[in-house]
Amino acid sequence: MRLVSIISPVHNEDDCIDELFSKLQAVAAKENNYEFEFIFVDDGSTDGSFEKMVNLAAKHENVKAVELTRSFGKELALTAGLSEAKGEACIMLDADLQHPPELIPKFLREWENGFEVVVGVRNRGVGESFFRRCASAIFYKIMSEIGETPIMPFATDFRLINKVALDAFKKFTEHQRMTRGLIDWLGFKSTNIYFDVEERKNGKTRHSFSKLMRLAASTLVSHSFFPLKLAGYFGVLITLCSGALGIFIMIGRFVIHDPWSLSVSGMGMLATLTIFLVGIILMGLGLVALYIGQIHAEVINRPLYVTRRKINL
Ligand code: UDP
Ligand code: MG
């Protein structure tokens, strides 16, 4: 029997865990060709989440519980779970039941069809506030314009990845990470499964707006060098414009002796010169930014390439 790992990050979800597990069990019972292990990662919960996980683990030996020392955020909690997974495929899903466990068989079928990654994609903006929908639309728009790897809007962390993709994923060393962005970066053959997000069962989202903003900013920075280059682009633009203006003023005044009676003041000339110099400084900054970009790329130490298969090794 092939083993499939199911991974859930948990942050203060004590009223969802039991229901989640019973739904998962119901799904597992129908899948006769697979064995399952369930890995719950407690991301610094302050309610009884971890006790619930321990209780389940005591009753079922295929339930594994990982407790993090504090809340590291969902992305790192997922990573912790993935690093414990022993299965030939891993399925990640949120513990708050917004990712319906009933869809797991669909993910498995696509995996059997030969896909290495199966991505759950939300049907347009269901189950989210208007404000958050707008914010995420803007974010994905910006990312698709300037990001190095496009990140698909509405794609979620509800995903299956096979063992090979998991091994590749484990090589990422960056601390600021967006799991789904990294999985997309790996480039494995993937397909989508569309689903409606249910309303959250209990309370509010565990992702405060500030947590999401931080994630958006770090994703932008780690998947795009455009913000770094911005100063440089501005510099080139300002230098060119003010340089042209300066030359125009000089020629107008000293060569053709101001036929349009512009009589540009000394102050005006000084301003043009200053702006010209600001442009040069910005270009210098842009140049420094290019080096920083290189350093950044080296420091996050991404794997240089990703292997799909090894034969006779
Ligand atoms: N989560 C986590 N750490 C956090 C925030 C959330 O492990 O700091 C978990 C949470 O318990 C849930 C999943 O990540 O299982 C998704 O969180 P949430 O539902 O708050 O996110 P949203 O659905 O609003 O994107
Ligand atoms: Mg949720």
The residue whose CA is least distant from atom 14 of ligand 1 is 74
128 lines ligand 1 (CB under 6 A): no
CA of 11 to the centre of ligand 1 (A): 6
User: Pairing between strand 155-162 and 89-92?
Assistant: antiparallel
Q: What is the pLDDT of residue 81?
A: 95
**Portion of the chain with pLDDT greater than 70, in percent:** 98
Which strand (E) or helix (H) includes residue 209?
helix 209-223
Same-domain pairing of 122 and 246 = no
Q: What is the pLDDT of residue 126?
A: 59
Q: Nearest ligand to the C-alpha of residue 13?
A: 1
Q: Nearest ligand to the C-alpha of residue 11?
A: 1
The residue whose CA is least distant from atom 13 of ligand 1 is 94
CB atoms within 10 A of CB 169: 23
Residue 149 has pLDDT above 80, yes or no: no
Residue 195 has pLDDT above 80, yes or no: yes
Nearest to 86 by CA among 167, 184, 203: 167
User: Pairing between strand 34-42 and 89-92?
Assistant: unpaired
The residue whose CA is least distant from atom 8 of ligand 1 is 73
Q: How many domains does the chain have?
A: 2
Q: What CATH number should be reported for the domain holding residue 112?
A: 3.90.550.10
Between residues 312 and 164, the one the model is more confident about: 164
Give the structural domain span for 252. Answer: 226-300
Same-domain pairing of 56 and 66 = yes
Same-domain pairing of 39 and 144 = yes
**pLDDT tens digits for 218-266?**
888 878 888 888 889 999 999 999 999 999 998 988 888 888 888 888 8
Q: For 42-71, what is the mean pLDDT?
A: 93
The ligand 1 atom nearest the CA atom of 43: 7
Same-domain pairing of 60 and 135 = yes
Same-domain pairing of 24 and 144 = yes
Q: What is the CA radius of gyration of the chain?
A: 26
Same-domain pairing of 108 and 151 = yes
14 lines ligand 1 (CB under 6 A): no
What distance in Å separates the CA atoms of residue 184 and residue 46, rounded to the nearest whole number? 32
Which strand (E) or helix (H) includes residue 3?
strand 2-10
The residue whose CA is least distant from atom 22 of ligand 1 is 205
The ligand 1 atom nearest the CA atom of 72: 8
| Cα–Cα distance list, 100 to 94, 176, 187 (Å) | 9, 27, 26
Residues 6+ apart with CB under 8 A from 254: none
Pocket test for ligand 1, best of 206, 209, 215 (most atoms within 8 A of CB): 206
What distance in Å separates the CA atoms of residue 309 and residue 313, rounded to the nearest whole number? 10
110 lines ligand 1 (CB under 6 A): no
**pLDDT tens digits for 91-138?**
999 999 999 999 999 999 999 999 999 999 988 755 677 888 888 888
Q: Nearest ligand to the C-alpha of residue 74?
A: 1
CA of 2 to the centre of ligand 1 (A): 29
Same-domain pairing of 241 and 128 = no
Q: Which residues pair with 2 in a beta bridge?
A: 34
81 lines ligand 1 (CB under 6 A): no
